[in-house]
Amino acid sequence: MIEFRYPFILLAYIFIVAIMIFNTTRSREREAEMTRWGEEKVRRRLFSRLDLKSIKRKSVLEGWGVIFLIFAASGPQIGTTFQEVERKGVDILVALDVSKSMLAEDVKPTRLEKAKFEISRLIYQLKGDRIGLVVFAGTSHLYLPLTGDYEAARLFVNAVDTEMVRSQGTALSDALMTGLDAFPKEDQKHRTLIVMSDGEDHEGEAVESAKRLAEAGVVVHSVGVGTNAGALIPIYDTQGRRADYKKDRRGKLVTSTLNDAMLREIAAAGSGVSVRFDGRSGSMDDLLGVIETMEKRTLKTHEYSQFEDRYELFLACAFLFFVANLLTPTRRKREEAWRGRFV
């Protein structure tokens, strides 16, 4: 595979082709004009000192030299080289609630979309840290293992929706323990977990789980997404259109509210801070400030493959063609003796 550092330089080949067409046309005109100078024997006598084949050969050598020179100037990069890169940072795992209640629209456009937007903002501001993602509703699973590839992380975040976990509910405790298992076991610090949810804990064990993470050296932060007034939970049809709102067994509309007190308890138990997104205030900046004050460690060294510059090979070829052009003589080694005026 090959890439070019300055691909626009390759446009010079258009001019080379134009010059070749022009020279071909001119050479035909010159040959036609030479036929009017007399018979072939006379013309051979007139150009007896010139080696016409060598002149053409020099033109070919010069042309190839220019072709390789342009190719070298475009900065060709061929193959790969390996470069060791050290990252200093912490491991950040985000546990994102994808239950149906996150579709409530008390935070615009929805709670889930607001959470995804803030996670993307967080990723944009990371420098050397690793990021991972756990999604949870009635159950939880590790959706994105810890990675330093921020572009891939943003793609994973953008793809999150409420259909990823079929089992409905809000298993905060299960999400916290899944997050604990996702961290490397050899390090007992430099780790933080961010819970983003509306706080509807259907198990009631989240605070105890947060304490267990804190004992294991994981700092637990919480982000509440929603308002105290709450909002109805929309239900969408297969076409993505709102068809109805969620109702309980008695047929009454269900209003989902933010359980801010629960999330604050989780953050306190996990030695972290609690942030709230209510549509009017709150962002990940406060959390990022806390994360930046954490002690950094040198994370596992990664090897990144990059294209290696190879212009010098083509430059050397161009040089050889130009040298060959200079060393190619245009004069015959043997000259035919002039035996008469016309013959």
**Can you give the residue ranges of every domain in the chain?**
2-81+306-327, 88-298
Q: Compute the distance between CA of residue 327 and CA of residue 68 in angstroms, rounded to an integer.
A: 19
What are the tokens at 142? 């590790």
Q: Compute the distance between CA of residue 139 and CA of residue 308 in angstroms, rounded to an integer.
A: 46
Q: Compute the distance between CA of residue 50 and CA of residue 333 in angstroms, rounded to an integer.
A: 9
- Main-chain phi, psi angles of 237, to 5 degrees: -85, -175
Q: Compute the distance between CA of residue 268 and CA of residue 274 in angstroms, rounded to an integer.
A: 8
Q: Enumerate long-range contacts of 204-209, CB under 8 Å, 24 or more apart.
A: 204/173, 205/173, 206/172, 206/173, 206/176, 206/262, 206/265, 206/266, 207/262, 207/265, 207/266, 207/269, 208/173, 208/269, 209/172, 209/173, 209/176, 209/177
Q: Is residue 179 exposed (0-12), middle (13-18) or buried (19+ Cβ within 10 Å)?
A: buried
Task: Find out whether 35 and 28 touch, Cβ atoms under 8 Å.
Answer: no
Q: Which stretches in the chain have pLDDT values below 70?
A: 1, 30-52, 79-86, 201-204, 281-282, 299-306, 332-343
The CATH number fitting domain 88-298, selected from 3.30.460.40, 3.30.43.10, 3.40.47.40, 3.40.50.410: 3.40.50.410
